[in-house]
Amino acid sequence: MKKMLKGRVTKSTGKWYKVMPEGKNQEMVLCQLPGKFRLQELKQTNPVAVGDQVSFTMLADGKGLIDTIHERSNRISRKATHGRKGEHILVSNVDQGFVVQAVQKPKFRTGFIDRFLVSTEAYEITPYIILNKIDLGSEKDANEIAGLIELYNELGYEVLLTSIYDEESIEELAGLMKDKTSVFIGPSGTGKTSLLNTIQPGLDHSVGEVSASSNKGKHTTTFSELLPLEFGGYLVDTPGIREFGLVHFEPNEIALYFPEMRDLRTQCRYYNCSHLHEPGCAVMKAFEEKKIAPSRYDSYISMYESVEDEELSAGSRKR
Ligand SMILES: Nc1nc2c(ncn2[C@@H]2O[C@H](COP(=O)(O)OP(=O)(O)OP(=O)(O)O)[C@@H](O)[C@H]2O)c(=O)[nH]1
Ligand SMILES: [Mg+2]
Ligand SMILES: [Zn+2]
């Protein structure tokens, strides 16, 4: 009988999975995945994600073969890119997610933040917003940043202002990460890997310069990786993503994950109100009365429409 071991996937290249076996000071095992999993999980572009708990058997050559992917307690997914259909799981089994944006280079986008928040709300993952590179903020940015903090704080989200040159901000961030599994998600060049290196010097993950022409990082982080933190906990550093496409959402479900719309929904005239054009819509009324921020309502419309498009195209494929 082959011995079955349990472990957690820390890195995936799509071909190989680096697995950290349970127990202290275990050596990493490189595992492969039998083809049967690929057939079963056609809805996902990656059947095994970083953060997954797996059972595996050891082969004679010291490599492992994944036998079971254990049920995920949660996950953060995005729509697959490069013309592929379905879901791409960025990470699974996490306690909290940090959306990493920068004051400048590249400038933060509320649309990205809002999509991230909807995804974490849906999977009950504690979200935090990081606004990094505060050292680059000019006088002109100050008002905008204050507005952003006020907006999200009022909705119940914490905004952390960080800079890799500001020790206090790094300590605060590290304090939140202690003993938890966290993930950094954000566009390329916002400083995810830099923050990780500052929190835990010695890891020496390579950091990319932001290119002057595009203001984006040069995609230095190419694979997600789960790393143990010396002070307790784990952090998953992910490669930069341009868009955060929602998957597996029904259009009418989206308002549920907007705290400022959640309770209003039941006051709309129609139970299936889209909050886009119906008469007697409580959400639109609140927007007109400036109780819902324009950037948030814009995000809502954009998410609703993209999810609706996806549904329509899925429907036409069936026919
Ligand atoms: N001024 C300033 N620059 C920073 C800060 N944090 C990161 N940077 C710079 O931003 C650039 C990109 O940083 P990375 O850490 O590679 O960004 P990333 O988010 O990991 O990018 P991807 O791996 O491509 O997703 C590097 O040149 C860093 O030195 C900061 O707080 N202030
Ligand atoms: Mg990086
Ligand atoms: Zn409505």
pLDDT string in tens for the chain (319-residue length): 578 999 999 999 888 999 999 988 889 999 999 877 765 555 777 889 999 999 999 998 999 999 999 999 999 999 887 777 788 899 999 999 999 999 999 999 999 999 999 999 999 999 999 999 999 999 889 999 999 999 999 999 999 999 999 999 999 999 999 999 999 999 999 999 999 999 998 776 666 555 555 555 454 788 899 999 999 999 999 999 988 888 889 999 999 999 999 999 999 999 999 999 999 999 999 999 999 999 999 999 999 999 888 777 766 554 3
Confirm or reject: Cβ of 221 under 6 Å from ligand 1. Answer: yes
Q: What DSSP element (H or E) covers 183? A: strand 181-185
Nearest CA owner, ligand 1 atom 7? 191
Closest CA to 216 of 186, 237, 190, 244: 190
Cα–Cα distance for residue pair 272/189, rounded to 1 Å: 40
What is the per-residue pLDDT for 129? 98
The minimum-distance atom of ligand 1 relative to the CA of 218 is 24
The minimum-distance atom of ligand 1 relative to the CA of 162 is 31
Confirm or reject: Cβ of 115 under 6 Å from ligand 1. Answer: no
- For a substitution probing ligand 1, which of 103, 207, 219 has the most ligand atoms within 8 Å of its CB? 207
What is the per-residue pLDDT for 38? 65
Model confidence, pTM: 0.92
What is the per-residue pLDDT for 219? 47
What is the per-residue pLDDT for 13? 86
214 with 274: CB under 8 angstroms?
Answer: no
168 with 207: CB under 8 angstroms?
Answer: no
Cα–Cα distance for residue pair 198/302, rounded to 1 Å: 35
Confirm or reject: Cβ of 208 under 6 Å from ligand 1. Answer: yes
Nearest CA owner, ligand 1 atom 13? 191
The three-state secondary structure class of 259 is helix
What is the per-residue pLDDT for 217? 47
The minimum-distance atom of ligand 1 relative to the CA of 100 is 19
What is the per-residue pLDDT for 218? 52
Cα–Cα distance for residue pair 194/191, rounded to 1 Å: 5
